[in-house]
Chains A and B, each alone.
Chain A
Amino acid sequence: MPDVLLEAKGLTRHFRIGGLRGRSLHAVDDLDMAISDREVVALVGESGSGKSTVARLLTMVYRPTKGEIFFRGKPVSQLRRRRDLLAYRGQVPMVFQDPFSSLNPAHTVGYVLTRGLKLHRRELGRRERQAEAERVLETVGLVPPAQVMSKYPYELSGGQRQRVGFAQALSYRPKLIIADEPVSMLDVSIRIGLLNVMARLRDEEMVSVLYITHDIASARYVSDRVLVMYAGHLVEYGPVEEVLQEPVHPYTQLLLSAVPDPRAPLGVTPPDVGEPPRVVDPGEGCRFRWRCPLAAQVCSQATPRLELVSPGHRAACHVNAPASTSTIATEVGS
């Protein structure tokens, strides 16, 4: 089994809203996850499920309310010195959703890349930085690199800009790239090229990727494992093929049935009440119960835990994955 690269335990982030009454929005609640070396993990969920909050927690944009993130076994909350923080951010960089606002319009691609290198890889000289910038551009498929270096963001298409984002992340010699909806703003015809870049990063550059998306079909295309989030909770995870062929959690099933697919037979869509999840002071119980066709009494009383379905595959559902008598509660990830 490959080594665990990054691990989150009991990761929780609440946001205070509504002034005096002090209500709190539970964006992420008690989330355990692990990412190993050289794997692409997809984090799937609808808007508002807390996926992006997880990305920001992992990249230390937000501090967790509770819980801890371990990078190669070391807790990241212990990183205090600027040099250590910089090193962590270099090893776990982020690629953003919007290629139109995440690049500085006033600088060329070459400047953006070499400046990042100056900051994160101080051992390199001027020439080496130039060479490294060209190498990463070539890796993400922006050729000829020398020409791309002198271009400004407005001269590039959305797909090309997003590739610059990946090139930038790659230049820091990362271990794990957090990609938050990297293709959702791009045209369908261009998306696939970028997904192929992500797969290549894993295979050739030995980088792990956390691919955050609401598109479960593209998650299947690039990822090895998939994590499904709903209203701040992890509701199911496992090897991607297994989860998609035999989804256990009713939310995963709903998500799969909603994917538009001309190759699928036109089936009867299960009625979806479509009520947005309640994440403001949610209390105990399964957060999917208001939309769930299987909801039972117990679902409003206790929050279901992630139970083992098969090796590496867990789901949190009282009905479809009832707690076994011998609860193995401590195993995290696969």
Chain B
Amino acid sequence: MTPVLSVRGLSVDYLGQGGAARAVDSVSFDLSSGEFLAVVGESGCGKSTLLFAIARLLSPPAELAGGSVTFRGINMVAMSDKQLRALRWSALSVVMQSAMNALNPVTSIGAQFADSMRAHGERDKRKIRARSEEVLRMVGIDPVHLRSYPHQLSGGMRQRAMIAMALLFSPELILMDEPTSALDVVAQRSLMVQVKQLQAQLGFAVIFVTHDMSLVSHFSDRVLVMYAGQVVESQATQRLFEAPLHPYTQGLLDAFPSVRGPKAVLEGIPGSPPDLSRLPAGCNFSPRCPKVMPACLEEGPGLRNVGEAEVRCLLYAKQVPGRRPAAPAGEEALRA
């Protein structure tokens, strides 16, 4: 099956006074139609920048430094603004992090829906109205809210209205940038369930960016873990949670407490993410890594295939003898 989206060696630089900082470092992946891909990492790891680069929404000081984004067989990087305008929203839409800031506060929801439909050549008022009502119903909002203004809706409803708007043209790909981070757990859960149901119904592919690994555990097909601009691990979701390969993934999985099972003392990941303009020598994660070896400080590891997973870590290099893949870090109590 040909992928809907194929990203190859995508790099993004932030131009600053002290030279360029590479926020996304040659990221490659394929997304098949109807797939749910989660991109996970700490703040500043480049996950949102990657999403913006894919949608060609970068603005200075960020600049595309190389690579290609092939969407439906066409390289988006080479497209003109006009070509992009036709493509955006009709074939590919974006749901931003904060619906509060993404929706226009001074016009009604319906007017904003109509705007984007008119921009794509729909002139028939009745059709616009019918489609707007239809998508609102899809996300479980009463169509009377087409006349509501964003401030009259709750946070969860605003976020769902954003998703409804993204569905207006039944796109093949929806990019979501932390759409649930402003919501509390109950609203978050119901939004995720809804996205998943819509996906099953309409068959669009999703790239879902989040810092909360546990959130995507039940919803994504595959997880891409990013650290300091690089993909450090990519695996099918279930396997990633059962047997995380990269020490960073293991640390992330160990960092959140559970409401079930025995209570264990967790340690989290010591230190903080590196400054992208002053990356450490060798592996980017080496200063925080519990399994650091002398070789890690010399050379940054490449992305290797381990089984069906990809991982960027010297632990899995063949040259290092006597090292077995680390055991899955799960529930073990570090201090009972």
Contact = CB atoms under 8 A, between A and B. Distances in A.
B41 to A, nearest CB: 9
A196 B269 CA distance: 12
Contacts of B215: 260
B75 interface: no
A37 interface: no
Interface stretch (B11-19, B120-128, B181-189, B308-316): B181-189
A189 B241 contact: no
A254 interface: yes
A47 B184 contact: yes
B85 interface: no
B217 interface: yes
Interface residues of B, number: 42
A40 B305 CA distance: 46
A258 interface: yes
A216 B259 contact: yes
Contacts of B186: 46, 254-255, 258, 272, 274
A158 B211 CA distance: 15
A269 B191 CA distance: 12
A273 to B, nearest CB: 9
Given A220-B257, A261-B258, A46 B263 contact: no
Contacts of B251: 189
A258 B189 contact: yes
A258 B188 contact: yes
B268 A269 contact: no
B260 A276 contact: no
Given A47-B155, A260-B217, A269 B193 contact: yes
Contacts of A218: 256-257
B192 to A, nearest CB: 8
Nearest to B264: A221
Given A192-B256, A220-B257, A220-B263, A262 B184 contact: no
Of residues B189, B211, B251, which shows the largest number of chain A Cβ atoms within 10 Å of its Cβ? B189
B244 to A, nearest CB: 11
B257 A188 contact: no
A192 B127 CA distance: 51
A131 interface: no
A258 B185 contact: yes
Contacts of B253: 262
The 5 A-B residue pairs whose C-beta atoms are closest, nearest first, are A262-B217, A192-B268, A221-B257, A258-B189, A46-B184
Interface of B: 42-43, 154-156, 184-190, 192-193, 211-215, 217-218, 241, 251-253, 255-261, 263, 265-270, 272, 330-331
Interface of A: 46-47, 157-160, 187-193, 195-196, 214-218, 220-221, 241, 244, 254-264, 266, 269, 272, 274, 276
